[in-house]
Structures are given as structure tokens and as C-alpha cells.
Amino acid sequence: MQAHAPVLSTRILPRTRVSAVALVISFAALTAMAAQIRIPLGFTPVPLTGQTFAVLLTGAVLGMRAGAAAQALYVALGVVGFPVFQGGEGGWTYATGATAGYLVGFIISAAIVGYLAEQRQDRRIATAIPAMLAGNTLIYLLGVPWLMHVLDTDLAGGLTAGFAPFVIGDLLKIAAAGLLLPAVWRMVGER
């Protein structure tokens, strides 16, 4: 069985439990900060935020396990009431509300992007952008159906409220992450 390639965090920092825990906490905090970059939309309970960019970076930089752990920590902190969700929200009611599917999607997305990074898919633009697109698609695949359930709407309503308003912004975030990671890998001297 072939060993996974090192991800960016293990290429830059020593592989220790302390550094792994610090990175998981740091990327959970990054996602919480990105959640505060938000633009509310009047026709949907889901705002535009910077979270998906943070989620994609989390997976790519930390790898599958640590990336998923960072997003799971972020969601868990919000569930227990820390004001880490968009608009300083937190608590069980918010976490199980309209954006619950997206929150679960963050964990899975970080794991998938992390796995792809472990397969060296984050080192070239031609593979990094599809890796980020795969991660972002998973967020939608979990977020939109849950939103449809909460809003008691059909697929057209779910896509209107939970997909269409976010596509352009997410494509920009995917492109940014897909360009940033290969550039950082070049700076640390590895392809």
C-alpha cells in the first residue's frame, strides 16, 4: 500500500501531536472567523459567507483526518453554544436549522479535499481546482436537501434558496483556493 504524500501542514511543520492539535484548533477558528464575513440574503435563510473557502483550505492544508477534525470541532463548538456560526450564532437550535446540512457538509468536504491533497491533487492548478470543486459540491449535496426539508420546498425551491445565489461566489472561492495551494507548494519547493 502506497503511503500518502505529506500535506502542506506536515511539509512546513514537524509532525507532532501538539502541532496537529494546534492546527485543528487554528483551522476551526479560521472557519469561525470566515463565518463572520457574511452577506444576508432576504429570500433565503442561508447567507453568503467566507466559510466554504476556509473549509476547502482546511482539508487541503491539514489532510483528510485533521481537516475533518477541524471542521467537526468547529461544528461541535457551535452546537454547544459558542458563537462561531455566521452572525455570531451558536447553539443546538441554530445548528439543526436551515444550515445544518451545510455544516455537516463542511466536515465531509474537508475530509474529501484532504484525501485528494494526500494524493497530491493540491499541487497543480489543473488538479487543485477539481479537488476544490469536489469538496464544494459535497457541501451542496448535503446542504440543499436539508434546506429543502426545513423550508418544506421542492427541488426548484431548494436550488433557488440554497444553490443558485452562491454559485458565483463559490466558484471564485474554488478558484482562489485552487490557485493558492499550488503557489504555496511552489514556494516551499515541492511540486
Question: For 121, phi and psi rounded to 5 degrees?
Answer: -80, -5
Give the start-to-end residue ranges of the domains of the chain. Answer: 8-187
The pLDDT of residue 103 is 97
Instruction: Quote the pLDDT of residue 47.
Output: 83
> Low-confidence residues of the chain, pLDDT below 70?
1-5, 191
Q: Is residue 90 classed as helix, strand or coil in its secondary structure?
A: coil
Report the relative pairing of strands 48-49 and 38-39 from DSSP bridges. Answer: antiparallel
Q: Where are the beta strands (DSSP E) in 61-133?
A: none
Distance CA 108, CA 139 (A): 8
What is the distance between the alpha carbons of residues 88 and 36, in angstroms, rounded to a whole number?
A: 7
Could you report the per-residue pLDDT of 80-126, keeping only the tens digit for each? 999 999 999 999 999 999 999 999 999 999 999 999 999 999 999 99
CATH of 8-187, one of 3.30.450.20, 1.10.1760.20, 2.30.30.760, 3.40.228.10: 1.10.1760.20
Measure the CA–CA gap between 56 and 6, rounded to whole angstroms: 17
**What is the pLDDT at residue 75?**
98
- Of 110, 128, 111, which is closest to residue 180 (Cα–Cα)? 128
- Residue 191 has a pLDDT of 57
**Would you state the pLDDT for residue 113?**
98
Question: ∠ at Cα 132 (127, 135), nearest 5°?
Answer: 130
Strand, coil or helix: 46: coil
Q: Are 70 and 84 in contact (CB under 8 A)?
A: no
